[in-house]
């Protein structure tokens, strides 16, 4: 089966990131092989799920040794299309932008921030790590010249929708919302809401309702 022809379900994509983190950690300890049982334990699913997930990759286990760690990392990275770092711009030059910019690119060298933009003249020209906040007016030009794919909404609630609109009209193909308010994007543009508010609300409900199912996952030790 030519794995790349099947479109990969969202839950599988998400688990690929967990596999990557786990594989990297185990490789650092000098291991070369891993089997489906170990991976299943780490992500808190069954062996079947792991093997099902692997079937989406152009990749096979080597006999009863299980999966070759380095090879699996490579194939997952390629399948996630992360071989070439993604180019992103940040809309909003405040605290949130600072956190995003300073944390980007650490993991897998997966992102490159092509610019940070804001309308507020008090922020334009200030430094955020190695970037200088630029006027939002310049955004379309940069998005075109640097072939920016992703726009990150990192402004306050009031400016969030305006910023999302600007990012889209500047030409990004996907929008990631970190602002504390929901934003809308036109059809054809990928969108993901990663604001912290829904996460907190969800956790509060779970804690208070006491509706936990299985076990917590077994991810031990700090990484990196």
* Footprint of DNA on 65-104 (CB under 7 A): 66-67
Name which of 142, 138, 136, 184 is nearest 160 in CA terms.
184
Rg (C-alpha) for the chain, rounded Å, is 20
Binds DNA (CB under 7 A): choice among 25, 27, 47, 78:
47
For residue 187, state whether it binds DNA (rule: CB under 7 A).
no
Residues paired with residue 111 on neighbouring β-strands, in sequence order: 86
Residues paired with residue 90 on neighbouring β-strands, in sequence order: 116, 152
Please answer whether residues 98 and 129 qualify as being in contact, where contact means their C-beta atoms are separated by less than 8 angstroms.
yes
In the complex, the smallest distance separating the C-beta of residue 179 from DNA, rounded to whole angstroms, is 24
Q: DSSP 3-state helix, strand, coil percentages of the chain (rounded to 5)?
A: 45, 15, 40
Q: How far apart are CA 116 and CA 89, in angstroms?
A: 6
In the complex, the smallest distance separating the C-beta of residue 124 from a copy of itself, rounded to whole angstroms, is 20
In the complex, the smallest distance separating the C-beta of residue 10 from DNA, rounded to whole angstroms, is 6
Cβ-based nearer residue to DNA, 45 or 88: 45
Residues paired with residue 193 on neighbouring β-strands, in sequence order: 177
* Footprint of DNA on 100-119 (CB under 7 A): none
* Footprint of DNA on 9-38 (CB under 7 A): 9-12, 35-37
For residue 164, state whether it binds DNA (rule: CB under 7 A).
no
DSSP 164: H
Cβ-based nearer residue to a copy of itself, 61 or 86: 86
Binds DNA (CB under 7 A): choice among 4, 31, 60, 194:
60
Q: Which residues bind DNA (CB under 7 A)?
A: 1, 9-12, 35-37, 45-49, 51-52, 54-55, 60-64, 66-67
């Amino acid at each position: 089966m030519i794995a790349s022809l099947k479109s990969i379900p969202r839950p599988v994509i998400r688990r690929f990131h967990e596999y990557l983190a786990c594989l990297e950690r185990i490789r650092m300890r000098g291991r070369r092989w891993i089997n489906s049982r170990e991976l299943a334990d780490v992500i808190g699913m069954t062996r079947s799920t792991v093997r099902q997930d692997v079937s989406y990759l152009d990749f096979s286990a080597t006999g009863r040794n299980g999966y070759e760690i380095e090879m699996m990392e490579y194939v997952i990275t390629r399948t996630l299309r992360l071989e070439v770092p993604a180019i992103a711009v940040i809309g909003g030059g405040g605290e949130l932008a600072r956190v995003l910019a300073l944390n980007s690119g650490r993991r897998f060298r997966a992102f490159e921030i092509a610019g940070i933009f804001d309308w507020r003249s008090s922020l334009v020209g200030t430094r955020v790590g190695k970037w200088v906040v630029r006027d939002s007016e310049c955004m379309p030009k940069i998005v075109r010249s640097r072939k920016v794919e992703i726009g990150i909404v990192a402004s306050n609630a009031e400016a969030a929708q305006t910023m999302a609109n600007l990012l889209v009209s500047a030409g990004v193909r996907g929008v990631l919302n970190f602002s504390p308010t929901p934003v809308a994007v036109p059809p054809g543009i990928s969108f993901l809401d990663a604001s912290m508010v829904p996460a907190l609300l969800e956790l509060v409900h779970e804690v208070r309702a006491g509706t936990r199912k299985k076990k917590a996952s077994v991810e031990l030790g700090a990484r990196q």
